[in-house]
Structure 1
Amino acid sequence: MSSEPDSPEIAERINTVRVEDEMEQSYIDYAMSVIAGRALPDVRDGLKPVHRRILYAMHEAGVSSGSSHRKSSSIVGETMGDYHPHGDSAIYDTLVRMAQDFSMRYPLVDGQGNFGSVDGDPAAAMRYTESRMSPIAEELLADIEMDTVDFEPNYDDRLQEPSVLPAAFPNLLVNGSSGIAVGMSTNVPPHNLREVVDATIHLIDNPDCSIPDLMEYVKGPDFPTAGNIVGRSDIREAYTTGRGRLTVRAEYEIEEYERGQRIVITELPFQQNKSKLVENIADDVNEDKLEGIRNLRDESDRDGIRVVVELKRGANADVVENKLLDSHLERTFGVINLALVDGQPKVLTLKELLKHYVDHRKEVVRRRSQYELEEKRERAHILEGRLKALDNAEDVVETIRNAEDRDAARAALRETFEFSEEQAAHIVRMQLGSLTSMEATEIKEEYEDVTARIERLETILEEESELLDVIKDELRDIKEEYGDERRTSIVEDMGTVSHEDLIPEEDVAVVLSEQDYIKRVPIDTFSPQHRGGKGVIGTNLKEGDRVSTVFTASTHDYLLCFTNQGQVYRLKVYEVPEMSRTARGTSAVNILDLDEGEDITAVVTADDLDFEANDEYLTMATQDGYVKRTEVGEFENIRSTGIRATRLEHGDALVDVEVTDGDQDVVLSTVQGMAIRFDEDDVRPMGRSARGVRGVKLEGGDQVAGIAAAAETDDRDLFTVTEFGYGKRTPLSEYRPQSRNGKGLKDIKTGQRNGRVSTVHTVESDDHFVAMSEGGQIMRAPVDEVSEVGRNTKGVKVMELDENDRLAAVDTFSEIETADEDESEGESETAE
């Protein structure tokens, strides 16, 4: 059969559109369908369509809180068949969640059977569980038959379903909501009913109130699993902007028991799987990520959660607690107060959420009052007819008796007594027993009650203040009926206790060997000796290994470590394992990413640097006599693998680094005992990739040994130490300034006794020094044990070395005054 005659008509029905335009519009239509029809709650009742349809299906089926439980499969079937044709599993999953007291702050379904657990166990199949509405859920549907909300056709136009529920309480805030739509998501946390009701009433009384005013009532989210919210600033941000990130922490306590200490967890962050938590902690313990735990068990029962973490003897409970918080006991709850307002998604503040709810309740109460008023007016009209009939009872009865039928009786009553059609019809249906005097009294009393109610309803509809009073009274009733105490505590954000905070601040010596063994040892381990002593064993070296570096620092210092290859690394001193003085140390590979042959030659404490200032410099010296100044700001961000500090020519090496302020002099010392002092302004500031300029003219194979900084009126000494353990102190004033790239002056006599210069430092008389030999001997002594002499002298013995040993490094330090010492001094002053 040919279709040619119809071809023009078919062509007229074809529209030409661009593919991208059609795809865009179709996707937008789909997205809005998902947003409005599935994923986002309505701001008025706080429900998504599937929640609303389940509750309405239960309401229509009479499965109320006062009825017997009904098989969940029956409820799911009726919901799917009449209102929500999206599959039974989606409906049952929603029903299950509404019954879980660990998911909903105020469950809307009263479940009987296995509805899952906080361990992530799934609910039993719907054929095994039974459900009914909880009492508070009925408050969401209260007065729905009184034309309080709009209805719309269901999916097949057979039935009508509500587009929103009357919602006698702000369910969106009280129970929260979560969901993922197309291109957006919502995550409204649950709240305490009493707090939300109080805030709503305050908003009704004070429409111009601020969000901080409302927060006087709504302290923060109140999760069904309790726990703690850390800090109030994040809550304020979430309420003010509609978005925020809350830190939710488990509730726990540290207990003493017969075998030591244990951490007992009794409350979990919202939506945290308890069994998964225990499993993850166990995994970290087995993988040595979490130390100090000897046993872990779950003692939870029907009375509540109890997870016990037993600690090893000697374990620091604060450290274990902190690591548990970092990895397991704290979670972030991302607040996104996204809801549908007039069918459109909108992110809402706390005040906006409550305001939209109040507007909804005003509409509900207004429509309910209008509906009831019409009913009461109709009833009053009937009662007026009955009272009139009682006043003329004999005549009314006679008129009805004389009529041929009911229609004639109604007509006669209307004509004779001027009854309305409704009144006449009612009187004809009346029984004679209703004409008794007792019935007459009851009718008069009912009429008085009805007219009083009509006056009240008219007042509510005419005066908004009266309508708002009704809303407030109903909210107070719900608060008294269903309100409970807050479960989630809000704790101040004191900051988590870091590992650093748990380590006492003390001076330590950090020892690094050529084969990259590293350790730290408290300085107090080494008692001060007189100069010239041999010291004690400072480390147990492997055969063929030698000490390459020793430096002093505080355990809380953050250091910049410069190497001979011109790289700089970050080091937090407390990350270096503390060991005994005779221990070899641990491999430095996980602490400092040094290459083969790379040694630390200079250390600077970064805590003392102002990275944003432009008047501080790191002044570097290389063994070939080059000097460079670079602003400290260029060293603020250092990768774990280090960054370049200076460019070196082949064969050159970085030997020392000093912090200068732009107004100081620089003193360079060479291995052959020469020293030159010049103004640091002679060296212009350069970038990290620059090589620098000549600082000293070297002769006869000489090399730079170290660098020191000196002020114009500096009363400190230059402390020079040689490789064979000899040294001296000379006032800085004896080193007259010269021009850069000169030969300098004779500082110390080198030769067969002294050997070459090892290092130089500027010192004060009350400083201490630590000297360590390549063979691992270490000694500590006061600086004033070393004689103060002039330039061009041999100095005195600083440390006794074995025949084949050499001095590896020397560092100086001022002792830290501990808190105990400060307190004792204060007590002494008070006593005096």
Structure 2
Amino acid sequence: MANPEKLLDLPLEEVIGDRFGIYSKYIIQERALPDVRDGLKPVQRRILFAMHQDGNTHDKPFRKSAKTVGNVIGNYHPHGDSSVYDAMVRLSQDWKVRNVLVEMHGNNGSLDGDPPAAMRYTEARLSAIASELIRDIDKETVDFVPNFDDTTEEPIVLPSRFPNLLVNGSTGISAGYATDIPPHHLGEVIDGAIMAMENPDCTVEDLMTVIKGPDFPTGGIVQGIDGIKKAYRTGKGKIVVRGRSTIEPLKGGREQIVITELPYEVNKANLVKKMEELRLDRKVEGVAEVRDETDRTGTRVIIEMKKDGDAAGVLNYFYKNTDLQITYNFNMVAIINKTPKLMGLKEILAAYIEHQKEVVTRRSTYELKKAKERQHIVDGLIKAVSILDEVIQTIRASKDKKDAKNNLSEQFGFTDAQAEAIVNLQLYRLTNTDIETLQKEAEELKETISRLEAILGSEKKLIRVIKNELNTVKKKYATERRTTIENDIEEIKIDLEVMVASEDVMVALTKGGYIKRSSLRSYTASNGEDTAMKDSDRILLQSEMNTTDTLLVFTNKGHYLYLPVHEIPDKRWKELGQHVANLVPIDEDEEVIQAVPVNEFNEGHYLTFITKNGLIKRTELKQYQAQRRSKPLVAIKLKGDDECIDVHLTNGSSNIIIATRLGYGLWFDEEEAGLVRPRASGVKAVNLKDGDIVTGGKVFPEGQNQDLFIATQRGAVKKMAIGQTLEKSSRARRGVVMLRELKKSPHRIAGIEVVNDEDIMMLRTENDIRVPVTVSEIRSTDRYNNGTFVVDQDESGNVIEIWKNLK
């Protein structure tokens, strides 16, 4: 009877968790993360070891890559050939690896991300410095384990004569872990390791006097010494890497930007393509052409400018909007004691030094053992030569080799090993010369044994050996540093002129919130007609502006919309335009009340706000310059049911005149309202009676004879000479009465405006009847006159709004 099936009743989470745990452990330890001691992932270690075993070294001819890949797969790494070949190619790419470990003939890829040629076409061998990683591997310096099919053995780590993890860096993604260790300068890292050996208590700051920071194979400029320091202390940190560029003059007063070095691991072809796209999409102005002139002498990307192009501004734009400047994040994770760990610079160097101590100790033990074995043989040979005739006689009298060995041991006291060496001795070795050689060798062996025992007996001498070997590697392989380190991360400021073509346009905004810009040609073609708008709408702003200017649009809820003119929809003058809510989302019940064109956010200009409940607020214009503009921004903080009714751009010495619904007027200096920040509420402008509200707050310059135009809800209008009929006061007062009080059907102010005789005022009633009034036709009166009726209240309803006709 067959064995019954054994079924386990287990929860699914437990089974999946257990299996995933085993899988994760495998990818963490055996695939994606480097060992802290030799800085290699398993596939890289197997490639280098297989090439070493095959004699495919730097002093021998190149061999087909396919042969190496076959060896690696067949003996050590049972995975796909492409993964092995890709790893091998990366070790040969001098723009990815600071000191290449594999030399390759043929196409091994490029900075543009081109794939390498197939492995049947390329040839490879170990580089000279890679041999330093493997040196002394045959002297029992590291542990070996059986390979996947138990047919041979492979090392679990390489002896590694230099700190390869820091020198060549590493990048990898595993399960729950990732690593990003940048390449460093070989000489600096060795100096740092020596400093850590001489002074184990040295700080990160001490180490940074020799290890300045990353040294990328592609050069470039690293900014942010604080980020480097944090990374070296904790294992995590952020730096900025930018390409190296110069601005060169051309004929005709033009310039060109020449980029000679790119940030680490940036694809050049993609970078050039992105720059060209930005130029074609007119996101950046002043660039005539972007081209790649890279050849075998080095990287060279040209950004040719137009005659009036701002090269420095364009370069800054490309730093900000392309991979010409990138952020590099340190994440120094490596395997230490079979466990992944985030390590700082000191820990990595300490782990490497411990590894070197073990390697040199094991090598010295191995060499001592071999030297003592040889010394024993040499002593036997010297003794045999001194009694040569007896030895020869004994050998001749013996039956065979075994008998001869036994006889030598019995008669002269030779050990088995010495007897074996004597019977294997060739006759020519019995000359006088050879005897001298043996004596010389005995002396040398004595010195070697003494030296090795000293190393094994003294930590100080052990460290001296490691230091000497590191200095030898440094002297032989260190090159010039390629990357420049700069202390601070430069803040990139981009002038609007670089991004936007300067063009004069006509901007129109209606009270209903419809906005557009039109070319001056389109505006001229309309013969000065009003912009297209709905019948119930009116023009709030119609102004010639430049595409590099900004329009600030204010709402009754105390918000403002920051609209760069070049982002306002471009429409023909006879088209309606787009609602501001499509550009920046505002509430359904929110109304546009004013728009202020701004050429520059400079000193000496202020925004002055008047609210319905009698507050005034003044803030510097420059504080309204915004970086983010995707939502409405706070212009003034409103309380309760208050609303913003007027906004003015002032120069600091203007006059303010405020009118209330019940007929009071107050005139005072702008400076009466102190400066506050944008999110403040302001101060009291006028002392209102219960039930009264402000219906208008206007601004006019000092010293000009201007009139105040008043319209009442009953359809009466009046004009008063401000300087003659009103007295200047200070803020927070009730003001003076500007209408004669009637007991029956009293007049209430619907709106005010500061006017000149050539102005035409528009009055709008509840029934949307619009009545034009020519200011010059209205005679001036005093404060106690209620003016002239221009609207039939019974037919049209109350007047609810007045404004200047902008046409």
- Shorter-chain TM band: 0.7 to 0.9
Query: What are the superposed Cα offsets for residues 194-249 of structure 1, whole Å, 9 maximum, x if unpaired?
Result: 11111111111111111111111111111111111122222222212211222111
Who is 2:794 aligned against?
none
- Aligned to 2:139, the other structure's residue is in SS state coil
The answer on 1:621 being equivalent to 2:614 is: no
Who is 2:376 aligned against?
381
The one-letter code sitting in structure 2 at the alignment partner of 1:388 is K
Who is 1:32 aligned against?
25
In 2, Cα distance between the equivalents of 1:229 and 1:621?
Answer: 52
Judge conservation of contact 1:149–1:164 (CA < 8 Å) in 2.
yes
Residue 371 (structure 1) aligned to one of 343, 352, 366: 366
The answer on 1:640 being equivalent to 2:630 is: yes
More deviation, 44-53/586-595: 586-595
Q: Report the CA distance shift for 1:335/1:192 in structure 2 as closer, same or farther (over 3 A).
A: same
In 1, Cα distance between the equivalents of 2:201 and 2:446?
Answer: 37
Within a 5 Å distance, the mapping from 1:71-86 to structure 2 comes to: 71-86=64-79
Residue 675 (structure 1) aligned to one of 666, 672, 676: 666
In 1, Cα distance between the equivalents of 2:418 and 2:726?
Answer: 120
In 1, Cα distance between the equivalents of 2:53 and 2:598?
Answer: 77
Judge conservation of contact 2:505–2:517 (CA < 8 Å) in 1.
no
Q: Report the CA distance shift for 1:323/1:601 in structure 2 as closer, same or farther (over 3 A).
A: closer
More deviation, 730-739/313-322: 730-739
The answer on 1:496 being equivalent to 2:489 is: no
More deviation, 634-643/350-359: 634-643
Query: What are the superposed Cα offsets for residues 143-177 of structure 1, whole Å, 9 maximum, x if unpaired?
Result: 00000000011111111000011111111111111
The answer on 1:706 being equivalent to 2:697 is: yes
In 2, Cα distance between the equivalents of 1:343 and 1:562?
Answer: 64
Q: Report the CA distance shift for 1:793/1:285 in structure 2 as closer, same or farther (over 3 A).
A: farther
In 2, Cα distance between the equivalents of 1:730 and 1:315?
Answer: 56
Residue 259 (structure 2) aligned to one of 244, 261, 265: 265
Who is 1:150 aligned against?
143
Query: What are the superposed Cα offsets for residues 619-644 of structure 1, whole Å, 9 maximum, x if unpaired?
Result: 7512xx55599999999998623157
In 2, Cα distance between the equivalents of 1:239 and 1:547?
Answer: 62
Residue 350 (structure 2) aligned to one of 350, 355, 359: 355
In 2, Cα distance between the equivalents of 1:697 and 1:498?
Answer: 51
Residue 562 (structure 1) aligned to one of 548, 554, 562: 554
The one-letter code sitting in structure 1 at the alignment partner of 2:415 is S
The one-letter code sitting in structure 1 at the alignment partner of 2:427 is L
* Structure 1 residue 439 displacement after superposition: 1.0
Who is 2:182 aligned against?
189
Judge conservation of contact 1:149–1:162 (CA < 8 Å) in 2.
yes
* Structure 1 residue 399 displacement after superposition: 2.5
The answer on 1:41 being equivalent to 2:34 is: yes
In 1, Cα distance between the equivalents of 2:178 and 2:415?
Answer: 59
The answer on 1:432 being equivalent to 2:441 is: no
Q: Report the CA distance shift for 1:603/1:341 in structure 2 as closer, same or farther (over 3 A).
A: same
Q: Report the CA distance shift for 1:380/1:606 in structure 2 as closer, same or farther (over 3 A).
A: same
In 2, Cα distance between the equivalents of 1:634 and 1:576?
Answer: 18
In 1, Cα distance between the equivalents of 2:138 and 2:309?
Answer: 65
The one-letter code sitting in structure 1 at the alignment partner of 2:389 is E
The answer on 1:298 being equivalent to 2:284 is: no
In 1, Cα distance between the equivalents of 2:242 and 2:707?
Answer: 55
The answer on 1:333 being equivalent to 2:321 is: no
* Structure 1 residue 652 displacement after superposition: 7.4
Who is 2:44 aligned against?
51
More deviation, 437-446/373-382: 437-446
More deviation, 377-386/241-250: 241-250
The answer on 1:23 being equivalent to 2:16 is: yes
Judge conservation of contact 1:199–1:217 (CA < 8 Å) in 2.
yes
Residue 654 (structure 1) aligned to one of 645, 648, 655: 645
* Structure 1 residue 334 displacement after superposition: 2.1
The one-letter code sitting in structure 2 at the alignment partner of 1:499 is D
Who is 2:275 aligned against?
281
In 2, Cα distance between the equivalents of 1:576 and 1:23?
Answer: 54
Within a 5 Å distance, the mapping from 1:413-428 to structure 2 comes to: 413-428=408-423
Who is 2:767 aligned against?
none
The one-letter code sitting in structure 2 at the alignment partner of 1:562 is F
The one-letter code sitting in structure 1 at the alignment partner of 2:494 is S
Query: What are the superposed Cα offsets for residues 758-781 of structure 1, whole Å, 9 maximum, x if unpaired?
Result: 369xxxxxxxxx999899xxxxxx
- Percent of aligned pairs sharing the same letter: 35
Query: What are the superposed Cα offsets for residues 302-332 of structure 1, whole Å, 9 maximum, x if unpaired?
Result: 1111111111111122221111111221122
- Aligned to 2:91, the other structure's residue is in SS state helix
Query: What are the superposed Cα offsets for residues 751-807 of structure 1, whole Å, 9 maximum, x if unpaired?
Result: xxxx974369xxxxxxxxx999899xxxxxxxxxxxxxxx9799xxxxxxxxxx986
In 2, Cα distance between the equivalents of 1:726 and 1:206?
Answer: 89
Who is 2:305 aligned against?
311
The one-letter code sitting in structure 1 at the alignment partner of 2:200 is P
* Structure 1 residue 488 displacement after superposition: 1.2
In 1, Cα distance between the equivalents of 2:626 and 2:292?
Answer: 46
Q: Report the CA distance shift for 1:53/1:105 in structure 2 as closer, same or farther (over 3 A).
A: same
Judge conservation of contact 1:773–1:806 (CA < 8 Å) in 2.
no
Who is 2:766 aligned against?
none
Within a 5 Å distance, the mapping from 1:721-800 to structure 2 comes to: 722=708, 734-735=728-729, 744=736, 757-758=752-753
Judge conservation of contact 2:705–2:721 (CA < 8 Å) in 1.
yes
The one-letter code sitting in structure 1 at the alignment partner of 2:314 is V
In 2, Cα distance between the equivalents of 1:497 and 1:747?
Answer: 55
In 2, Cα distance between the equivalents of 1:378 and 1:771?
Answer: 120
The one-letter code sitting in structure 2 at the alignment partner of 1:100 is Q
Who is 1:799 aligned against?
none
Who is 1:204 aligned against?
197
More deviation, 168-177/541-550: 541-550
More deviation, 232-241/591-600: 591-600
More deviation, 483-492/343-352: 483-492
Judge conservation of contact 1:558–1:607 (CA < 8 Å) in 2.
no
Residue 125 (structure 1) aligned to one of 118, 123, 129: 118
The answer on 1:463 being equivalent to 2:458 is: yes
Judge conservation of contact 1:35–1:181 (CA < 8 Å) in 2.
yes
Runs of 5+ consecutive residues of structure 2 not aligned to the other structure: 519-525, 532-537, 569-576, 651-655, 711-718, 741-749, 762-781, 786-801
Q: Report the CA distance shift for 1:115/1:464 in structure 2 as closer, same or farther (over 3 A).
A: same
Who is 1:443 aligned against?
438
* Structure 1 residue 693 displacement after superposition: 13
What TM-score do you get using the length of structure 2 for normalisation? 0.76
Who is 1:323 aligned against?
317
Runs of 5+ consecutive residues of structure 1 not aligned to the other structure: 520-539, 578-585, 610-616, 660-665, 709-715, 749-754, 761-769, 776-790, 795-804, 810-832
What TM-score do you get using the length of structure 1 for normalisation? 0.74
Q: Report the CA distance shift for 1:396/1:574 in structure 2 as closer, same or farther (over 3 A).
A: farther
Residue 473 (structure 2) aligned to one of 459, 462, 478: 478
Who is 2:791 aligned against?
none
Judge conservation of contact 1:53–1:83 (CA < 8 Å) in 2.
yes
Judge conservation of contact 2:558–2:638 (CA < 8 Å) in 1.
no
More deviation, 152-161/383-392: 383-392
In 1, Cα distance between the equivalents of 2:373 and 2:724?
Answer: 113
Query: What are the superposed Cα offsets for residues 546-581 of structure 1, whole Å, 9 maximum, x if unpaired?
Result: 87459999x999997532x3251253889899xxxx
Query: What are the superposed Cα offsets for residues 472-517 of structure 1, whole Å, 9 maximum, x if unpaired?
Result: 11111111111100111123433223326999xxxx9998654645
Judge conservation of contact 2:552–2:595 (CA < 8 Å) in 1.
no
Judge conservation of contact 1:560–1:571 (CA < 8 Å) in 2.
yes
The count of residues paired between Structure 1 and Structure 2 equals 709
- Aligned to 1:99, the other structure's residue is in SS state coil
In 2, Cα distance between the equivalents of 1:358 and 1:429?
Answer: 44
Who is 1:235 aligned against?
228
In 1, Cα distance between the equivalents of 2:81 and 2:592?
Answer: 67
